Structure 1
Amino acid sequence: MHRRPLLQALALSPLAAAFTTSAQTRQQGRPAAGYGPLRPVADEATGLPLLMLPEGFSYRSFGWAGEALANGGVVPGAADGMGIVKAEGETFTLVRNHEILGVGGGFGPAASHYDAGCDGGTVTLRYDRAAGKLLEMRGSLSGTLVNCAGGTTPWGSWLTCEEIVTPAGHSGQHRGKPFKLEKPHGFVFEVPADGASNAQALTALGQFKHEAALVDTDGTVYLTEDAQPAGFYRLLPAKKGNLAAGGRLQMLRARKASDLRTGLKPGQQFDVDWVDIARPADGVGDNGNNGVLNQGRAQGGSLFTRLEGLFAGRDEIFFTSTDGGDAKAGQVWRFVPSQQRLELFIESPGASAFDYPDNLCLHPRTGLIVVCEDSKQPVQRLYGLRREGGLDGLFELARNNMQLAGGELEKLPQLKGDFRGAEWAGTCFSADGKTLFANVYRPGFTVAISGPFAG
């Protein structure tokens, strides 16, 4: 029951002319030029150079851990996955995960607690882009554990995913204090744009180490698993738009390829089909917490490793494998639903080229993919990725530059330390493509980045 490294920012752009790569850069295996060199940029909210960005880009931070929630308590840390669930003119409603493994009492209204003693969950934020002002923060789900990533739904809600599997009644010690969980964990929960979640576990989506969720246009829900080994899943819902009604959970099976972790080449393609998971809520099974994976594996389901971010374009779904590939530095996969075809889109030859990709999102107009980094590097980056050129299409879009001596933040003067190694997470673009929202995991806050994303 501990956090693993995560990586969260991917960016694709078909505008090849906007991105150049020198021969020297390719030989050294470093990110391509992208929008230009990065330099420290002052946060418009705090005045501090928290990020490094290209010329012409700006940002504003909001929703810091430790600030007060409108419905009681304070904002937790560990800001992870996030999505825009509602947009009204210049006002955006975002739901943000808090990946907390703790047993202390939760936050927000008691009616939104799943397992009352657990500290993970979600916070809902309303942000006015025109005014550059946070309008409200409130707890919207708690009593969960290790809420890592998730995904938005077409009907305007957020699916938050637990990245841990425990049976009901699980007990032990946490930070020197005994605990006992009343309910099982390892599920997906739905959070509405307004109000709070009903804290109902969506058991048809499986009990496993969930990472991300994606609802495709036909209602199919795709799911990644952050485990070693891992599976790639989908739910065929019994009723489109009503996940509580259940459905058929299935695991991907690549024909003639039972293990997709290593030994592959970028561009390699596989025809796929799917095998049914008979007992989706049996995540513990007979072997630790691999009950769902083992059900699929027994029928030839294909193995990945540490699947993370998940995002859809037009008839294509991208997802990342944080430590996949021969160098164990990461893979990006592309699945085409209409053809039931899987492709290894890129694979990192080593950490110096591309290291531990995590969450990702897609620019709504240019096709730019933004990938979050969650690696062991001393400074974490947001990457841009264009389709042409494979790894030569990678470039640095942003860099975490947060270093505090203490006392610089008026509302949170106690914060101090070097946070440059904190991962990026929760990237999502506004529908007009003008603003990229993203989270810095530790100490936990959100930024709204603006700039010439269209190239």
Structure 2
Amino acid sequence: MERRSFLRGAVIGTSTAALGGTLWRGAAYAAPAQPGTGPYGALGAADANGILLPSGFTSRVIARSGQTVSGTSYTWHNAPDGGACYADGSGWIYVSNSEINPSGGASAVKFSSTGAITGAYRILSGTRQNCAGGKTPWNTWLSCEEVSLGYVYESDPWGVNAAVRRDAMGKFKHEAAAADPVRRAIYLTEDETNGCFYRFLPTTWGDLSSGTLQVFKAGTGTSGSFTWQNVPDPDGSPTVTRDQVSGAKRFNGGEGCYYADDKVWFTTKGDNRVWQVNLANSTYELAYDDSLVSGGGAPLTGVDNVTGSSSGDLFVAEDGGSMEICVITPDDVVAPFLRINGQSGSEITGPAFSPDGTRLYFSSQRGTSGSSSGGITYEVKGPFRT
């Protein structure tokens, strides 16, 4: 495998930095990642919330499905899924999707500068099975419908402006989105066993009402060069978008997606892989593949949502597996960062860092009950690497 550049980024501060700002610094290393000792050390005993964490980290429950969010009158949604954080003055907001069908949508929790919950509210209603999504540089939330011929909805994390359906971004089984302010593109994953990887080029950056949907074209291998080609009919009818372009590369169950400094990473659950796309030189390769792990069992299985920290570490949540969030470091080490006990019928969703990088939010979609009505949303606080 050729060596690659994994550039470290600052996700602290503005959304532009979170999406690949100028504070990134380079470190070349080989791929794909292999098991090793993680930067945070071994996991300790389970805490009162059933979460195993490294030394120096603590957890708390933020919200539970069907229950009122503490300090508010708002009832938290079922099946919490993809999420993101937004700066709000000296505080912040965490947005979370609801992966139920019908009704879906998304909600938000608002925090003060000390982390105290100051509000909770609905930001999107009347949609279907909202799975993952993505944050835009202009501080909106792209909520994606994981259904056949599903849509992307652009919603307001503050709950002031009405959500808008973005038809130009295509109708397919949407999963996640990641914004690239350099190329002025939104990358999109598709949760199909023979799905594709897309990008949307808005006619005007910051306005998603019109633009061009393109699909990723490449060979059948796990590395090489790629090109983009326009999707003739983003409406997906009568021919689905993934079948409209000859040579479109197939991916087995596209899931999470994350952009930083000329790279975009996305996961495919069908083969437990993390892909890295180098947008500067139009090449792609594997950042992780559980079938290529040497010397024993793979620490990361059931790959799903993904996010990044200011150190350049990737944090990948498991759908099932060992109910872990694993870290992939710039040194090509993959290791568990946390594990949830007693929730084997669930999946971990929505990892996202607070603007200052000291708190990680995520959910257990079905909690201890194994039902969508049993979802639990957590916060982990501690000395994350910078």
TM-score by length of 2: 0.83
Matched, 1:356 2:283: no
Task: Supply the distance in 2 between the matched residues of 1:432 and 1:62 (Cα, whole angstroms).
Answer: 18
Runs of 4+ residues over 4 Å off in structure 1: 11-14, 69-73
Alpha-carbon separation, structure 1, partners of 2:207 and 2:339: 39
Q: For structure 2, which runs of at least 5 residues remain unmatched after alignment?
A: 1-5, 10-32, 367-373
Partner of 1:384: 327
Which string of whole-angstrom CA distances, capped at 9 and with x for unpartnered residues, describes residues 167-214 of structure 1? xxxxxxxxxxxxxxxxxxx00001112225534321111111111011
Residue 422 of structure 1 is matched in structure 2 by 346
2:238 to 285, 299, 305: 285
Aligned residue among 129, 147, 150 for 1:164:
147
Q: CA deviation at 1:449?
A: 1.1
Contact 2:257 2:267 in 1 (8 A): yes
2:369 aligned with 1:452, yes or no? no
State which of 306, 310, 319 in structure 1 corresponds to 2:253.
306
Which position in structure 2 is the counterpart of 1:331? 273
Decide whether the 8 Å contact of 2:323 with 2:347 is kept in 1.
yes
CA, structure 1 residues 73+427, in 2 after alignment: closer, same or farther (shift >3 Å)?
Answer: closer
Counterpart in the other structure of 2:313: 368
Q: Distance in 1 between matches of 2:145 and 2:268?
A: 18
Does 2:361 match 1:437? yes
Separation of aligned partners in 2, 1:33 and 1:86: 29
Q: How does 1:143-158 map to 2 (within 5 A)?
A: 143-158=126-141
Equivalent position to 1:190, from 144, 154, 160: 154
Equivalent of 2:334, from 394, 414, 422?
394
State the AA in 1 paired with 2:381.
S
Which SS does the other structure have where 1:301 is aligned? coil
Contact 1:215 / 1:221 at 8 angstroms: preserved in 2?
A: yes
Which residue identity is paired with 2:181?
T
CA distance in 1, matches of 2:153, 2:38: 40
Which has the larger share of strand?
2
Matched, 1:341 2:346: no
Return the letter of the residue paired with 2:253. Answer: R
Deviates more, 1:225-234 or 1:338-347: 338-347
Partner Cα separation in structure 1 for residue 242 and residue 92 of structure 2: 37
- Partner residue, 1:110: none
Equivalent residue in structure 1 for 2:124, among 132, 141, 152 = 141
Aligned to 1:85: 86
Q: C-alpha displacement at 1:301, in angstroms?
A: 1.0
* Structure 2 CA distance for partners of 1:335 and 1:213, relative to 1, 3 Å: same
**Contact 1:40–1:49 (8 Å) recurs in 2:** no
RMSD: 2.5
Letter in 1 for 2:384: F
CA contact (8 A) 1:99 1:146 kept: yes
2:41 and 2:280 mapped to 1: Cα distance?
A: 37
Per the alignment, residue 20 of structure 2 pairs with none
| Residue in structure 2 matched with residue 202 of structure 1 by the alignment | 166
2:174 is aligned with 1:234: no
> What's the offset of the Cα at 1:12?
9.9
Conserved 8 A contact 2:62-2:377: yes
Whole-angstrom distance in 1 between the partners of 2:73 and 2:53? 35
Compute the displacement of 1:302 (Å). Answer: 1.0
Task: Tell me if structure 1 keeps the 8 A contact 2:44–2:55.
Answer: yes
Inter-partner Cα distance in structure 2 for 1:320 and 1:12: 18
- Matched position secondary structure for 2:168: helix
- What is the match of residue 407 of structure 1? none
Q: Is the 8 A contact 1:221 1:235 kept in 2?
A: yes
CA shift, 1:436, in A, is: 1.3
C-alpha separation in 1, matches of 2:234 and 2:73 = 35
In the alignment, structure 1 residue 224 sits paired with structure 2 residue 189: yes
Matched-pair contact (CA < 8 Å) for 2:84–2:351: yes
Contact in 1 for aligned 2:216/2:248 (Cα 8 Å) = yes
TM-score of the superposed pair, with normalisation by structure 1: 0.71
What displacement does 1:348 show? 1.1
- Report deviation, 1:162: 0.2
Opposite residue 341 of structure 1, the aligned amino acid is T
Q: Deviations over 1:88-136 (max 9, x none)?
A: 21x21121101002xxxxxxxxxxxxxxxx3101001102351x42211
Q: Which has the larger radius of gyration?
A: 1
